[in-house]
Amino acid sequence: MVLPFRSRPVFPGIFTPIMLTDNQDIELVEQSLQSDGFLGLVMTKEEDIDYPGADDLHEVGTVAKIAKKVNLPDGGINVFISTVKRFHVKKVLNPQHPIVVAVEYPEETNTEGDEVKALTRSLIGEMKQISENNPLFSEEMRLNVVNIDQPGRLADFIASILNVERTEQQQVLEEMDVHKRMEHVLVFIKKEQELLRIQQRIQKQINEKIEKSQREYFLKEQLKAIKEELGMPADSKSSEYKRFKEAVDNLPLPGDVREQVEQELEKFNLMEPQAAEFAMTRNYLDTIINLPWGEPEAEEIDLKHAQQVLEADHYGLEDVKERILEFLAVRKLRKDSKGSIICLVGPPGVGKTSVGRSIARALNKEFFRFSVGGMRDEAEIKGHRRTYVGAMPGKIIQGLKVVKSKAPVFMIDEIDKLAVSFQGDPSSALLEVLDPEQNWSFRDNYLDLPFDVSNILFVTTANTMDTIPAPLLDRMEVIRIPGYIDEEKIQIARKYLIPRSMKRAGLPRGAVKYTKTALLSIVNGYAREAGLREFEKSLDKIHRKIAKLRVSGERQEQVKITPENVTVYLGQPVFREERAKEVTHPGMAVGLAWTPHGGDTLLIEAVSNPGKEGFKLTGKLGEVMQESANIAYSYIRFVAGQYNVSPKYFESNQIHLHIPAGAIPKDGPSAGITMAVALLSLATGRKIRKGIGMTGELSLTGHVLPVGGLKEKTVAARRNKIKEVVIPKANEPDLQEIPEHVKRGIRFHPVEDMDEVLQLLFKK
């Protein structure tokens, strides 16, 4: 009868216990004891077979004699067996339980000879070496290796105690040639020795690391004790902790804030410097101790000093300066700086940022500026939570950390260019910052502590109010900064731009002299804009060329810039004399337009072509402007009879209305009356007189409705030498806000309906 073995084969000449729990195996042992007590032990081909048959077993096994059986409490048995010799399955008598086979007992070959003796000595010697370095080998195993006198049995015993795969052990069991069997086992021993060498090397490396770390630990502890005796900080962490502790103790923190900060401080003290959160907590504490927690000093506003600063820094802008001085006077009387938000609105290059800087100088306050143009992430305002790698506080807390003042002037540039994305809405985050009802306990996500930012004077800038979110605009006091006329640009150039540009170019005072006409030609030919940036760039270009001439030795005397030699330094003018903006034919009219870059003139052209009735619009007009054009067309057809225009004119002509600069998008309703005038001029064949511009929205019944940006439009009219301006009657009060030097020389015609406009330009 055969007892299947799933784990490893059992070799001959071994006395060993076997524990059996399977009922079939126990039954097999009982049957064997009732007969002669012998069993055949054969290993299964696969290790995970539950009920093996004869086909699942190897053909070579070991005969074993059952010496003793012990019943176990769990129902299993422990059998002590003594293995006798190998057998080979000759025939299967019963393939299933109980498996019965007929066997033969093959004899071993090559059991003697010099090579066998040499292999025997090699096996014993190698096993001694393994047993000495491996604590798993017991003393009994060592004695057995030495005392076994049969070479085949020695190879079997060594194969049974080595950590070898079951299939390789089965190959040893099936090998009847003792010489080959011993060679197989010798190969196994060599593999085991190699594994032991690798294991010893790894163990040695680990021991060296442990010894090194222990040595470093003891040395550090000794160094710490020595430093403590000398009164020195024990290590960098202790030094940091001591610095933080002293700073936190001296900070005037509110009770709840102090409690949280001290918790962070103690957590920092317990951290190891190698910990992942160590650097993050250190940066957090560093931010806290560098913030201005104390109450700000009382403001001392000197209006006379403030006026001197504003006058020294800026030419003109009288209404802007007056508004700022009024604003500062209210702060002085209230003795309360909270709820102060200024929004400076104007074209690029008119000095919005420098006005904000001047406000800080006038108040003797620290100044911090950052731009929110294109900002998409609200974390830029409110900070990132500390759970993120590389977390930082928002711009507000960063600015306070830089200026180290609780009541500075913060300038937020480009507030009209905030964006929205999946990362949040920065404009909503700014609401809490700018709202005086909320910002006394502003919570930055990184800081996660209430911080009072209500003492900050916020100054925002924008090119247009149209794109500023309404809730933000509601919290701000808007101050408009219009563009400059030519005379103002010349004065600003002489007082500010030319000296500053010459200093940048390294030129001494008096190296360049400009005539007034030269500056005027630069303004009209190269820098026709509301602001001063292009003007200053043109001056820089002139001064760079002169600096080159001086360095090369070509010219050392003073250079005089006149209209005749401006092109030598700046090239051909960018802006030519625009004859196209003059009314030269019937069907043309000049309107005044507002753009984010300031006021501008808008030429409108209309022509008619005989053919089928129609109305065509070109010039990249927006939806609102297209509607205004259609209203103007319908109104002129309605009143055309009063001006001797035949109704058949519109029925037999296709009208084409165009606004030049077709690549530039245009929109808004304020060109309504201008388009109507152009259409009536075309229909009557009468050209309107030169030097007149107009602005106003037209309703379908002929009412002229008010428009915005009158100040900027007036500046544009003066820049383009327009002498008369037609404006809506409702905008007449806005004329009071326009400086007298801008209005000087311009005649305004306030009108209530389109009939007044047409009577002004045409006779019925």
Active site residues: 670, 713
Nearest Cα to 511, choosing from 544, 535, 552? 544
Q: Are strands 450-451 and 704-705 parallel, antiparallel or unpaired?
A: unpaired
Q: Are 324 and 317 in contact (CB under 8 A)?
A: no
Residue with tokens 């699942």: 56
Under 8 Å CB-to-CB from 510, ≥6 apart: which residues? 558
Backbone angles phi and psi of 317, in degrees to 5: 50, 40
**Whole-angstrom distance, CA of residue 462 vs CA of residue 348:** 9
Number of Cβ within a 10 Å radius of residue 13: 18
Strands (E), 507-596: 512-514, 559-561, 588-595
For 356-393, give one letter per residue: b (16+ CB within 10 A) or e.
bbbbbbbbebbbbbbebeebebbbbbbbbebeeeebbb
Residue 367 belongs to what H/E stretch? strand 367-371
For 131-154, give one letter per residue: b (16+ CB within 10 A) or e.
beeeeebeeeeeebbeebeebbbb
Query: Side-chain half-sphere of 672: how many Cα atoms within 13 Å?
Result: 28
**Whole-angstrom distance, CA of residue 546 vs CA of residue 548:** 5
Q: Are 439 and 432 in contact (CB under 8 A)?
A: yes
| Peptide bond connecting 98 to the previous residue in cis, omega within 30 degrees of 0 | yes
Backbone angles phi and psi of 692, in degrees to 5: -125, 135
Q: Both ends of the chain: CA-CA distance in Å?
A: 133
**CA 269 vs CA 219, 224, 242, 538: distances in Å:** 21, 16, 9, 60
**Whole-angstrom distance, CA of residue 297 vs CA of residue 363:** 12
Nearest Cα to 346, choosing from 146, 253, 483? 483
Nearest Cα to 358, choosing from 383, 386, 328? 328
Q: Which amino acid is at 241?
A: Y
Number of Cβ within a 10 Å radius of residue 199: 12
Q: Which amino acid is at 70?
A: V
* Packing angle, helices 236-250 and 255-270, rounded to 10: 170
